[in-house]
Amino acid sequence: MLANNGFEALDAIAAGRPDLVLLDVVMPGIDGFEVCRRIKSDPANRLLPVVLVTSLNRVEDRVRALQLGADDFLSKPIDRNELMARVVTLIKTKEVYDKLDDAEHVMAAFAKIVEAKDGGTEAHVERVARGARALGEAAGLTEIALDAIYFGGIVHDIGKIGVADSVLLKPGPLSGREVELMRRHVSIGVEIASQLRSACSVVPIIKHHHERFDGNGYPDGLAGGHVPQSAMIVSICDAYDAMTSDRPYRHAMSSADAIAELRRGSGTQWDPDLVGLFLSRVMQEPADADLSRISLAVPAGSHNPGGR
């Protein structure tokens, strides 16, 4: 596909899904730098290789290109053999990334299966993921960390695919043996995620989202700052949503009651600083407001007012 200017290039990419984009920096309308920025800011194109081609040869231009997400930078006059070698390398790299992306989609599909099994949790993982990303933003995390937290919010309970429905959907309290079986979803989830190199960033979330700030959680009894921040963020968001959703073993709490429960668990079950950020920045409501219109999510540890 060929384009005569930056706007045509963006339209062609949206319509054609190319394997690689070669951009001249100097183009009518918007320049190659801006086209590159727009391409890479679209999540659907984050793995699309972009090569900027230009007669500019200043170091600052190369730096700017890389900062905007360009995968390579070639200066004119271009050697045909060098161009072909770089194109082949980038396309092979994209094929690897596409396979990793497919693996993430498989994990997300598993998470949806769990959600379908676990009665009363429709759209739960999406709400957890959105809330966790918002809380991560409020905590000042990097974009890479936010992406991991969002994906972790989707797949945090993926290990429940290995938990029997008789335990997962039991309407009454779990027996000691059933609690043990339920807790195994953590190790099952870690085992699933550990098979995928692209999922390594979410392993701490899957493993530790049932830890407690006071050290009384599971599986490792981590306390305070030893609990991964990403896992604590997902735990808080998971708990709020779980408490305000109907489950087979209990009816939904009101938003006000769930907020009161979060405050009660601040400093024991959850990190008090993150609870404060969740209430003041994510919920964006004063302490005594009616929060019933907010749709975010969360379950947690021993007291476990949220989920199992």
For residue 159, the domain's CATH number is 1.10.3210.10
Q: Is residue 226 part of a domain?
A: yes
Q: Is residue 289 part of a domain?
A: no
Q: Is residue 102 part of a domain?
A: no
Q: Is residue 101 part of a domain?
A: no
Quote the pLDDT of residue 302: 36
Q: Is residue 21 part of a domain?
A: yes
Tally of domains in the chain? 2
Angle formed at CA 170 by CA 263 and CA 306, multiple of 5 degrees: 10
pTM of the model: 0.63
Quote the pLDDT of residue 99: 60
Same domain, 238 and 91: no
Same domain, 88 and 129: no
Same domain, 86 and 126: no
Report the C-alpha gap between 154 and 115 in whole angstroms. Answer: 10
Quote the pLDDT of residue 307: 63
Q: Is residue 179 part of a domain?
A: yes
Same domain, 179 and 89: no
Give the CATH number, domain containing residue 24: 3.40.50.2300
Q: Is residue 303 part of a domain?
A: no
Instruction: Give the 3-state DSSP-derived string for 198-230, with helices as H, strands as E and coil as C.
Output: HHHHHHHHHHHCCCCCCCCCCCCCCCHHHCCHH
| Segments forming the whole domain that contains residue 52 | 6-96
Report the C-alpha gap between 14 and 48 in whole angstroms. Answer: 12
Same domain, 78 and 187: no
- Angle between the N-to-C axes of helices 59-67 and 32-41, in degrees from 0 to 180, rounded to the nearest 10: 20
Same domain, 168 and 244: yes
List Cβ neighbours of 267 (8 Å cut-off, separation of 6 or more).
213, 214
Same domain, 269 and 133: yes
DSSP single-letter state for residue 63: H
Same domain, 162 and 262: yes
Same domain, 277 and 139: yes
Same domain, 156 and 215: yes
Q: Is residue 83 part of a domain?
A: yes
Quote the pLDDT of residue 306: 56
Same domain, 80 and 129: no
The domain boundary, picked from 96, 128, 163, lies at 96
* pLDDT tens for each residue of the chain, 308 residues long: 788 888 888 988 888 778 888 888 888 889 989 999 999 888 777 778 888 888 877 788 888 888 888 888 888 887 888 888 888 888 877 776 666 566 666 677 777 777 766 655 558 888 999 999 999 999 999 988 999 999 999 999 999 988 888 888 888 889 999 999 999 999 999 988 887 766 888 999 999 999 999 999 999 999 999 999 999 999 999 999 999 988 766 788 999 999 999 999 999 999 999 999 999 999 874 433 333 333 443 333 334 555 66
